[in-house]
Structure formats: structure tokens, C-alpha cells
């Protein structure tokens, strides 16, 4: 099965009322762990690569890792998505590599730190939509800004999405999906206490434009048990809280269809490697501890696929190609 457009995956999730996890990848072990979870739970999956990941992997490796995942898992709809594109050129680069979806994060300037105006966001996002749709590629936009910084992305300023602006933004840009700022945060150090998400924003946008799937960034749960493993075996992570699974499930009920998860996978891998090396002082074969890291990613992602309701939906529909979606855009 070829890689599929994110538009179809999210539209199908909206029909059945579940969420689809979007999991960041940087290497083979991560993608293998994610795909094992997707295969066992029969879940459609979104594999994300940030601009940092493309730089780390020298770009072309992500393309071929995703192609290998698709070849090895022919019954699973797989989306290859650019996370936090910072301009038309970075999105063009991803499209040329075969990505089936791109995020244009026009909420920030190209430095990925300075917030933009509404008008600037509309202009750059619209330019990406016009370009990407020529190739059948899905476009996710973002309105509002999240707390925290991850992979060099983030202003550190929280600006919740205004529902009126969200409606105008969708109408002006033609985006296929929209990431909302509802109180989530990037990175591992999200909150000191359980966050109160502004889920009324989701309700309002869904009520007014139900046809556009909504996205939650910064949605790792940062389980205390993952922090505890890292610290038990030599780490020094501070106590922190992520977004609780019940809060994510409530957001899905209200209309969130794509849930970004990155930090949880990083924590799981780091804890597994620290534990293995602490218990095997004579270890020197990377396959041994990277194998443990892969298993940790699998366990973490599998639990998210079940919690988000993604499990069991891989065979619900006949996957479309970019050419199929391109025809829809040209109607």
C-alpha cells in the first residue's frame, strides 16, 4: 500500500468519531516500534518528521524509512507528515521527498520563535495550500501559539485560538486541518499541575465548520512512570505533568482528530536505554539497547492507539492515493 493522504485518514476518523495519533520519528527503531503497534492494533497511523528530524537524518533517510514501513505493513494506512514547516520552501522540500501531508506553522515566523500576525499567517498558509494541493498533498495550519519549546519550535507565549479567527482562517486559506491552541504545551516540562484545557474552543469551531478536522499539538501525557525509570537509572528530570489521557479522550469526543505525540516516545526510549546499560555494564552492541528502546516505543504507542480509539480502524476504508485526492481538489 502506498503512503496515503492525511485528508482521507482524518476525514474517516471524523466519520467514526476517533482520534489518530501522529508520532514523531527520527530513526529506524522509532518507526519500527510505531509500526509494530499499528500492525498489532490494526490502526491507521501518521508518521511525523520535523524539520529537525529531516536535518538529523539527512532528509532522504526519512523518505525511505517511511517507504519501508509501507512495504512491510501493506494493510495499514500510513501518512508521512511534515511537522512544523516554517515556510513555503520547507513544505516544498517535504513534498518533493514524497510526504503526503505538510504542516505550515504560520503562527510563527520562519525563525520558529516569533509570533506572526493573523494576516501574515493567512498569507503564508494560503501559499502552501495552493502549492500542495497541486500534488494532492494535505495541508495542516495552526492558529494561536502553545507554551513550551520543542525541537527548536515555540515562542514560549501562550495565545489561545479565537474561534471567530479560526473560522475566518479556514475560509481564507482552504486548509484541510487546523491545529488549535487550547492550553497544551510543547516539550517534556509542560505543567506543574493538571492542565485545564479550553475545550469550549473545540466545540465552537466544530459547530461552525464541522468539515475541517482539528488537531492537538503538545499532547504527550508525560507519564510519571517514564520519568521515574529515567531518574532511577541516573537521570535528573524534574517532576512535571503532561496532558492526561482522559483530557485527550474528551477532546476527541468534541472533535479533535489528530493528536501529536513526541515527548512520550523520547522518554520511553531514554528510560529503556538507561535501564539496559545500567544493568548490563559490559554491553557495547547498539542493537541490544536500541532493541530495548524500540520495544519501549511499541508499548507506549500501542497504549495511545487504544486510548485514542484508533485501534481496529485500519481496514474501514479503501486508501486513496495523492492522485485521487488531487482530482477532488480540482473539482
Q: Give me the percent of the chain exceeding a pLDDT of 70.
A: 93
pLDDT at 159: 83
Confidence of residue 155 (pLDDT cuts 50, 70, 90): very low
157-161, 255-259, 303-307: the lowest-pLDDT one: 157-161
pLDDT at 165: 95
| 22 within 8 A of 83, measured Cβ to Cβ | yes
Instruction: Please give the grid coordinates belonging to residue 227.
Output: 520519568
17-21, 109-113, 192-196, 293-297: the lowest-pLDDT one: 192-196
pLDDT at 214: 97
Instruction: Please give the grid coordinates belonging to residue 321.
Output: 492515493
Mean pLDDT estimate for the chain: 91
Which domains, ranges and CATH numbers included, belong to the chain?
Answer: 6-329 (3.20.20.70)
pLDDT digits (tens, 9 = 90+) for 120-129: 999 999 999 9
Which residue has 511525523 as its cell numbers? 48
**What mean pLDDT comes out for the span 126-147?**
92
Distance between terminal CA atoms of the chain? 25
| 216 within 8 A of 262, measured Cβ to Cβ | no
Least Cα distance to 144 among 174, 172, 164 occurs for 164
Confidence of residue 268 (pLDDT cuts 50, 70, 90): very high
Confidence of residue 54 (pLDDT cuts 50, 70, 90): confident
Which residues does 211 contact at the CB level (< 8 Å), separation at least 6? none
pLDDT at 240: 83
Q: Count how many Cα atoms sit within 13 Å of the Cα of residue 213 in the half-sphere of its side chain.
A: 26
Confidence of residue 192 (pLDDT cuts 50, 70, 90): low
Confidence of residue 193 (pLDDT cuts 50, 70, 90): low
264 is catalytic: no
pLDDT at 146: 67
pLDDT digits (tens, 9 = 90+) for 28-40: 999 999 999 999 9
pLDDT at 24: 95
pLDDT over 50 (residue 274): yes
Q: Give me the percent of the chain exceeding a pLDDT of 90.
A: 77
Least Cα distance to 133 among 176, 93, 167 occurs for 176
pLDDT at 174: 97
Confidence of residue 148 (pLDDT cuts 50, 70, 90): very low
How far CA 118 is from CA of 131, 145, 313, in Å, comes to 20, 12, 36
Could you say which of 11, 72, 83, 165 is catalytic?
A: 83
Confidence of residue 189 (pLDDT cuts 50, 70, 90): very low
| 246 within 8 A of 292, measured Cβ to Cβ | no
pLDDT at 154: 47
Amino acid at each position: 500500500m502506498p503512503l496515503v493522504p492525511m485528508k482521507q485518514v482524518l476525514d474517516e476518523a471524523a466519520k467514526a468519531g476517533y482520534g489518530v495519533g501522529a508520532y514523531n520519528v527520527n530513526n529506524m527503531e522509532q518507526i519500527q516500534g510505531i509500526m509494530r503497534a499499528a500492525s498489532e492494533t490494526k490502526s491507521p497511523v501518521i508518521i511525523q518528521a520535523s524539520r529537525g528530524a529531516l536535518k538529523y537524518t539527512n532528509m532522504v533517510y526519512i523518505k525511505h524509512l517511511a517507504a519501508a514501513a509501507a512495504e512491510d505493513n501493506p494493510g495499514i494506512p500510513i501518512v508521512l507528515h511534515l511537522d512544523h514547516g516554517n515556510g513555503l520552501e520547507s513544505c516544498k522540500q517535504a513534498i518533493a521527498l514524497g510526504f503526503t501531508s505538510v504542516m505550515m506553522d504560520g503562527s510563527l515566523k520562519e525563525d520558529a520563535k516569533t509570533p506572526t500576525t493573523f494576516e501574515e499567517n493567512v498569507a503564508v498558509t494560503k501559499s502552501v495550500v495552493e502549492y500542495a494541493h497541486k500534488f494532492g498533498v494535505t495541508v495542516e495550519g495552526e492558529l494561536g501559539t502553545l507554551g513550551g519549546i520543542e525541537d527548536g519550535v515555540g515562542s514560549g507565549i501562550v495565545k489561545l485560538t479565537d474561534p471567530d479567527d479560526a473560522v475566518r482562517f479556514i475560509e481564507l486559506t482552504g486548509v484541510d486541518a487546523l491545529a488549535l491552541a487550547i492550553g497544551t504545551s510543547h516539550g517534556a516540562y509542560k505543567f506543574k499541575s493538571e492542565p485545564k484545557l479550553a475545550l469550549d474552543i473545540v466545540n465552537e469551531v466544530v459547530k461552525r465548520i464541522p468539515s475541517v478536522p482539528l488537531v492537538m499539538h503538545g499532547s504527550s501525557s508525560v507519564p510519571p512512570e517514564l520519568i521515574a525509570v529515567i531518574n532511577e537509572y541516573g537521570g535528573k528530570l524534574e517532576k512535571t505533568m503532561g496532558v492526561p489521557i482522559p483530557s485527550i479522550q474528551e477532546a476527541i469526543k468534541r472533535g479533535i482528530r489528530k493528536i501529536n505525540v513526541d515527548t512520550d516516545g523520547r522518554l520511553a526510549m531514554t528510560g529503556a536505554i538507561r535501564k539496559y546499560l545500567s544493568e548490563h555494564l559490559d554491553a557495547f552492541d547498539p542493537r541490544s539497547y536500541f532493541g530495548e528502546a524500540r520495544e519501549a516505543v511499541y508499548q507506549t504507542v500501542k497504549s495511545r492507539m487504544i486510548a485514542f480509539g484508533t485501534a481496529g480502524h485500519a481496514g474501514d476504508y479503501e486508501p486513496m492515493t495523492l492522485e485521487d485526492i488531487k482530482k477532488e481538489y480540482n473539482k
